[in-house]
Structure 1
Amino acid sequence: MTSGGMPSIPSSISPPPVSLPLRNIPGSYGLPLLGSIGDRLDYYWFQGPDKFFRTRMEKNRSTVFRTNVPPSFPFISADPRVVAVLDCKSFAHLFDMEIVEKNNVLVGDFMPSISFTGNMRVCAYLDTSEPNHSKVKNFITDILRRSSRIWISELESNLSTMWDGIELEMAKNKQSGFRNFLQPALFNFFSKTLAGADTAKSPEVAKSGYIDVIIWLGLQLVPTIHIGVLQPLEEIFLHSFRLPFFPIASRYQRLYDFFQKEGAEVVERGVTEFGLTKEEAIHNLIFTMGFNAYGGFSLFFPVLLDRILNDKTGLQQRILKEVRSKSSSGLTFESVKEMDLIYSIVYETLRLDPPVPSQYARARKDFKLTSYNSTYNIKKGELLCGYQPLVMRDPEVFDEPEAFNPDRFRGEKGAALLDYLFWSNGPQTGTPSEKNKQCAGKDLVVLTGVVFVAYIFKRYDSIAGEGGSITAFQRAN
């Protein structure tokens, strides 16, 4: 850790010797208004995010360049101008809180209405320099620490319910939609572990709480998401303006009331031990549970499972062997930590398919940004944008960067690569604290992914599926 509390940046990608040449940042924002419209249409319509960044990186012959990123004009008052940083060395600057800040920086210059979060700026919108950031970050960290006592047992319980449901549906239809059972399981799991709120005590929330969160997330984020269907209707109706809160207001209030009542003990700790108001504790709790945890795992788990199901190299049998040899006494923190193959698979999935693809930060002051071959002057107030699916394919760091290698993060060489795994708003080797913006639950996220995979292969000898559906399985004897 540095004195500023940022996650440690590996020495191999820290500021280089002054001998590197100073270069003007290539690229352009184009003509006023027209440039941002053209880039927006490329990003959402003609190219998609991946091709958008790749083509500009190739055109500028640089991993650092100027461009516009949506959302922007006509009815969203966000400044689309960014400096893209698409290699591990330049990307690492996004996590140095001495030179960048994150005040209201979540998806570029765009910010959903705070009506979605009780008319207050929750932790994600707070810079580390703001007093409330420390209060909320420490509150969330304490929640995660306490929840570790029941984390694995509650996860196993909800996974059991989920796979029971999948098997019942397969008995009727010969296949089962995986997400239909994953989403309520995740909602129940995180409500209990993070808020101490048992959905069994509220049948209405148990039935539709996860749907409420999906709608709540969608209304906030759809203006920023590439969907790629029904153009130009997508551009006209989904990407042109912020979506309003009122369609979800009553559903959000139901979630608020549920956490206020069933999570009263956790909320009270937020007030008495961390100096938050009751409202601040509840709204930050909902955001952490719904946006960070539920939203993130709803994206991560299907991709993780698809990676395993689509493998043709015998990976399932290797996983099976590791799980059966390491978990004879059950799934525990100790037994799971010995499953280095599954850990590597989880890390590799996070490398290639991070749940949050883009990271942003605004320059807190003038500074020199460094890449492998050049330095660049960054002015105070400029917005930096890193598109992680490309950053995490940096050929200077990762061999065969486009390939899924389940063994990439094993052994000493693999462990060293964790310095460059940035999915958590910081390197995997960093330490979350109130002085940085790194995900407080980054280690629990990885462990949860490992337990998710290990549970499957304790229950099944093999499993098959495609397109988000489970099509076959063989139960363990």
Structure 2
Amino acid sequence: MFVRAMAAATPPPPSSTSLSSQPPSSLPSQLPLRSMPGSYGWPIVGPLSDRLDYFWFQGPEKFFRTRVEKYKSTVFRTNIPPAFPFFGNVNPNIVAVLDVKSFSHLFDMDLVDKSDVLIGDFRPSLGFYGGVRPGVYLDTTDPKHAKTKNFSMEILKRSSQVWLTELLSNLDKFWETIESNISNKKEETYVFPLQSCVFNFLTASLTGVKTSVSQDIADNGWKILNTWLALQIVPTTKIGIPQPFEEILLHTWPYPSFIVAGGYKKLYNFINDHAGEVIRLGEEEFGLTRDETINNILFVLGFNAYGGFSVFLPSLIGKIAGDKTGLQERLRTEVRKVCGSGTGLNFRTVNEMELVKSVVYETLRLNPPVPLQFARAREDFKISSHDAVFEVKKGELLCGFQKLVMRDAKIYEDPEEFKPDRFVGQTGSELLNYLFWSNGPQTGTPSESNKQCSAKDMVTLTACLIVADMFLRYDSVTGDEGNIKPVAKAK
């Protein structure tokens, strides 16, 4: 956990051999106290103007970049959607924190509160979660947080016994589907077969039950989750359909949970009827009710795991498939060299693949699955960027746009560039202190006292396993984030 620092020193550049292994917010300094720039504007008018910029005229990345340039600061006040003018009491006012050092304060649990701020000041109806408030919406001071966090970490620990076999067996089916589509000359995105693969392997790993016990869930479970996820996040997300239709149809109101209630109930009943062992674990060892246990399992499965992989894996596979620099040859060489000793592909061997891991980390840096992170100030405190210190008031909502934070030029050399080797070697390992994608630094450890993703390490290992499996099967692939084609099978 980060110490409660009133100010922090600017970390040395990544090329420096003195790169600190301490998180940026924990380093002492003598930085000037500056009045925080930016404003919220006139009531209604200010939030509406910022909302139109965010969704319509600029888009999220340009929205933040233009304000950094305008205020000559990576810390400032502004508004962020959603700001439903007629629905709910949603406050759009935020303090933007857009460099690694200021951003790191979002994970100091002595300074910030994480209650109901997963996607900002807007929390979807609890009807999406069977009326239960999942652990992700609880602050660390809430007594139920420790129960739900420890439960999620325990089911992940237990899942490690079958995680590898379930992943590889479902990848077999995934690649068979892709090859069949190609041979039949079907123009079909690989994303949907990948989502089906991910859903089936995650369900078996986390609940101990294969989806094959219910043909309906096997065929449609991932489709249900797609709708369930979309209805929660669409009001806060730029989709890209023509304006003003996106603004009017998608961003004007929160969506009611009854739209997906029938599908969610099917998933609930599937867990309730078949996952007796993991339900007993939640009830008997962690003091959760049956209802709390099942709904928290579904949140971990659907939002954290399936939702995160559905966003991240296409960007990872697309980056590799579209590369023209020789990266595929280097990845193939490393994978086959490590696996060529007869030990095959497993957690130990994939952990030896430095380049594969670095490519996964670099993709997470540039395309984090969750682009925005939020936290609310527990009390008045001083927050520091690389250049100055600012006063934050109790109750203010802090927001970091990770795509911009992870392009911090004070930390990353050539920050806009995809560098496959960025996290290789000693200097690369030290940079992991500054890699944020999982509600904390890559070098952090999930626990009941923080909000870091319980499956942080399983996510990166799984991504590495998928890349390694691809290059054990194929010499090369072509494609992008939507389509992929194996060019040559491994001999």
- Is the CA contact (8 Å cut-off) linking 1:23 and 1:374 kept in structure 2? yes
- Is the CA contact (8 Å cut-off) linking 2:377 and 2:397 kept in structure 1? yes
Task: Name 2:264's counterpart in structure 1.
Answer: 252
Decide which of 105, 118, 136 is 2:148's aligned counterpart. 136
The residue identity in structure 1 corresponding to 2:56 is W
Matched, 1:208 2:220: yes
Decide which of 292, 296, 302 is 2:314's aligned counterpart. 302
The alpha carbon displacement at 1:19 in A equals 2.8
Decide which of 426, 430, 450 is 1:416's aligned counterpart. 430
Decide which of 350, 374, 387 is 1:373's aligned counterpart. 387
Matched, 1:278 2:283: no
The alpha carbon displacement at 1:3 in A equals 8.4
1:156, 1:87 → 2: CA distance? 38
1:148, 1:185 → 2: CA distance? 17
The alpha carbon displacement at 1:121 in A equals 0.8
Task: Name 1:449's counterpart in structure 2.
Answer: 463
Identity of aligned residues (%): 53
1:10, 1:34 → 2: CA distance? 44
The residue identity in structure 2 corresponding to 1:43 is Y
1:228, 1:245 → 2: CA distance? 23
State the Cα deviation string for residues 1-24 of structure 1 (Å, max 9, x = none): 5689xxxx9536125546311111
2:285, 2:23 → 1: CA distance? 40
Decide which of 392, 396, 407 is 1:382's aligned counterpart. 396
Task: Name 1:469's counterpart in structure 2.
Answer: 483
For 1:91-130, list aligned pairs within 5 A.
91-130=103-142
The alpha carbon displacement at 1:246 in A equals 1.0
State the Cα deviation string for residues 137-168 of structure 1 (Å, max 9, x = none): 00000011111111111111111100100100
Task: Name 2:301's counterpart in structure 1.
Answer: 289
- Is the CA contact (8 Å cut-off) linking 2:321 and 2:484 kept in structure 1? no
SS in 1 for 2:360: helix
The alpha carbon displacement at 1:198 in A equals 1.1
Task: Name 1:427's counterpart in structure 2.
Answer: 441
- Is the CA contact (8 Å cut-off) linking 2:2 and 2:108 kept in structure 1? no
The alpha carbon displacement at 1:176 in A equals 4.0
Matched, 1:44 2:58: no
Matched, 1:327 2:327: no
SS in 2 for 1:141: helix
1:272, 1:300 → 2: CA distance? 35
- Is the CA contact (8 Å cut-off) linking 1:175 and 1:470 kept in structure 2? no
Task: Name 2:33's counterpart in structure 1.
Answer: 22
Q: Quick one: structure 1 residues 45 and 152, their matched pair in 2 at CA, closer, same or farther if it must change by over 3 Å? A: same
State the Cα deviation string for residues 237-293 of structure 1 (Å, max 9, x = none): 211111011111111100000011121110110000000000000000000000000
State the Cα deviation string for residues 300-341 of structure 1 (Å, max 9, x = none): 110001111121110000000011011132111111110010
2:220, 2:28 → 1: CA distance? 56
Which region of structure 1 is more displaced relative to structure 2, 102-111 or 396-405? Answer: 102-111
SS in 2 for 1:276: coil
Matched, 1:262 2:247: no
SS in 1 for 2:184: helix
- Is the CA contact (8 Å cut-off) linking 2:366 and 2:406 kept in structure 1? yes
Task: Name 2:12's counterpart in structure 1.
Answer: none
The residue identity in structure 2 corresponding to 1:363 is A
SS in 1 for 2:399: strand
The alpha carbon displacement at 1:469 in A equals 1.0
- Is the CA contact (8 Å cut-off) linking 2:217 and 2:267 kept in structure 1? yes
2:50, 2:59 → 1: CA distance? 10
2:462, 2:236 → 1: CA distance? 28
1:129, 1:472 → 2: CA distance? 50
2:90, 2:196 → 1: CA distance? 34
1:268, 1:158 → 2: CA distance? 27
State the Cα deviation string for residues 334-373 of structure 1 (Å, max 9, x = none): 1111001000000000000000000000001111101112
The residue identity in structure 1 corresponding to 2:425 is G
SS in 1 for 2:235: helix
Task: Name 1:151's counterpart in structure 2.
Answer: 163
State the Cα deviation string for residues 2-51 of structure 1 (Å, max 9, x = none): 689xxxx9536125546311111101111111000010011111111000
State the Cα deviation string for residues 365-404 of structure 1 (Å, max 9, x = none): 1111011121111111000000000000000000000000
1:3, 1:12 → 2: CA distance? 9
For 1:330-369, list aligned pairs within 5 A.
330-369=344-383
The alpha carbon displacement at 1:225 in A equals 0.8
Q: Quick one: structure 1 residues 18 and 422, their matched pair in 2 at CA, closer, same or farther if it must change by over 3 Å? A: closer
The alpha carbon displacement at 1:471 in A equals 3.4
2:236, 2:168 → 1: CA distance? 34
The TM-score with structure 1 as length reference comes to 0.97
The residue identity in structure 2 corresponding to 1:432 is P
The alpha carbon displacement at 1:473 in A equals 2.0
For 1:152-231, list aligned pairs within 5 A.
152-173=164-185, 175-231=187-243
The residue identity in structure 1 corresponding to 2:33 is L
The alpha carbon displacement at 1:231 in A equals 1.3
Q: Quick one: structure 1 residues 467 and 195, their matched pair in 2 at CA, closer, same or farther if it must change by over 3 Å? A: closer
2:235, 2:387 → 1: CA distance? 36
- Is the CA contact (8 Å cut-off) linking 2:314 and 2:481 kept in structure 1? no
Aligned positions, number = 473
The TM-score with structure 2 as length reference comes to 0.94
The residue identity in structure 1 corresponding to 2:30 is S
CA RMSD of aligned residues (A): 1.4
The residue identity in structure 2 corresponding to 1:234 is E
